[in-house]
Structure 1
């Protein structure tokens, strides 16, 4: 009985605010992704997608000057930006004396790319036929949304945790959200693709962070035993 009580107290000690928030976010993101997949592939509903296209199209007709800014913003989650940034960012972190965080950022991005491609292949949803860009690949979930949230989410975490720059978290996450919106404006993705990309990116970030934290903790314990 005493042993069981001890284990329960040890488990309760692990349920810190950070763990509780992370678990809640993971469950919410996973549930959101599952719901969107069900809406698209089980119920075959296009109501949200049609409404989103109609809304952004009306806004762009009223603001024709927005075409340039939209293309500018969407670039910051493209392969041409994220590939060098996902290598250069971790290298900079390593040079600043944070090798563990550099590996975390690199692993998070590599895993997000792999997961996104696996999900696209599994769901096999074609892109919108009326896209305004020459785009390749499948549509669900949006790579710009998922990889953008992973990249800027990692950056926000690192700035807040290791440099005390918590004020950057909200602008960076809003920037990732704006990038996702541009994909709808360009008809490169359906709104459900973008929302699913955000949900998938958030779930992956939390799971990746938890997994890496456990890995580093076990590695530290192994080193201390030597």
Structure 2
């Protein structure tokens, strides 16, 4: 009887892991396809149609609502390097003190890993920033670090809220916030739209891969 219960628990864990792995695999695959499609558009076809259209829409919005510019400058700070360093240390520290050590490591790895991955991608693709930036910044452009690392941070927090706290509403708010930060980069002409979309895709790729590795390790240890 005891052996039957153990087998039943193992099968239940396997079913949960298999389902989650399938979903994560689909997310990773879709994000990977989007990322490489964007690299083809930008670096092979050298098409600027999407980027030009996006800048035109944001310029029209700024002309109609000039008061949005200070707001955009404020929102974009929530994925700036100083903020991400602080969040990447303080949030895991708070989670660890509260007894959520596994979740603390997950947030830390989401931020640190995506930051490193972003720099590797930027060095590889070597795309310069737009010359029309309202908020000039140094560094390379593809993919957007604000979009990528912001998606990793807020996407990870959204997952934790949905999975552990059953707060889907707040999870959607965090995902929407990550998307809004990405839009501010286009609004301020700091990044092209393709940079931002590639950043979102790469951030999702990293999150899906991280979740898959952590879940496999979790189930392999029989926890």
Tell me the TM-score normalized by structure 2.
0.90
Residue 144 (1) aligns with residue 140 (2)? no
Out of 154-163 and 34-43, give the one that drifted further.
Answer: 154-163
Aligned residue pairs total 212
Q: Deviations over 1:178-201 (max 9, x none)?
A: 000000010000000000000000
Return the offset for 1:133.
1.1
Quote the offset at 1:164 in angstroms.
2.2
TM-fit CA distance, 1:72: 1.0
Q: Partner of 2:129 in structure 1?
A: 127
Q: Quote the residue 1:54 is aligned against.
A: 56
Q: Provide the rounded CA distance (Å) in 1 between the counterparts of 2:35 and 2:109.
A: 22
Task: State the secondary structure of the residue aligned to 1:91.
Answer: helix
Structure 2 CA distance, aligned partners of 1:161 and 1:14? 13
Counterparts of 1:110 and 1:212, CA distance in 2: 15
Corresponding residue for 2:4?
none
| Pairing of 1:161-200 with structure 2 (within 5 A) | 161-200=163-202
How far apart are the structure 2 equivalents of 1:93 and 1:152? 15
Query: How many Å apart are 1:132 and its aligned residue?
Result: 1.0
**What's the CA shift string for 1:121-149, capped at 9, x where partnerless?**
00000000111112011000000000000
Displacement of 1:67 in angstroms is 1.0
Instruction: Tell me the SS of whatever aligns to 2:55.
Output: helix
* Structure 1 Cα separation of the partners of residues 141 and 218 of structure 2: 35
User: Any unmatched runs of 5+ in structure 1?
Assistant: 1-8
Q: Distance in 2 between matches of 1:169 and 1:68?
A: 26
The residue aligned with 2:117 is 115
Structure 1 counterpart of 2:23: 21
Distance in 2 separating the partners of 1:102 and 1:196? 27
Q: Quick one: distance in 2 between partners of 1:15 and 1:108?
A: 20
TM-score using structure 1 length:
0.89
Distance 2:96 2:160 in 1: 12
State the 1:166 CA deviation. 2.1
The alignment's C-alpha RMSD in Å is: 1.8
CA contact (8 A) 2:17 2:219 kept: no
Deviation at 1:13, TM superposition (A): 4.6
Deviation for aligned residue 1:95: 1.3
Structure 2 gap segments, 5+ residues each: 1-10
| Alignment match, 1:212 | 214
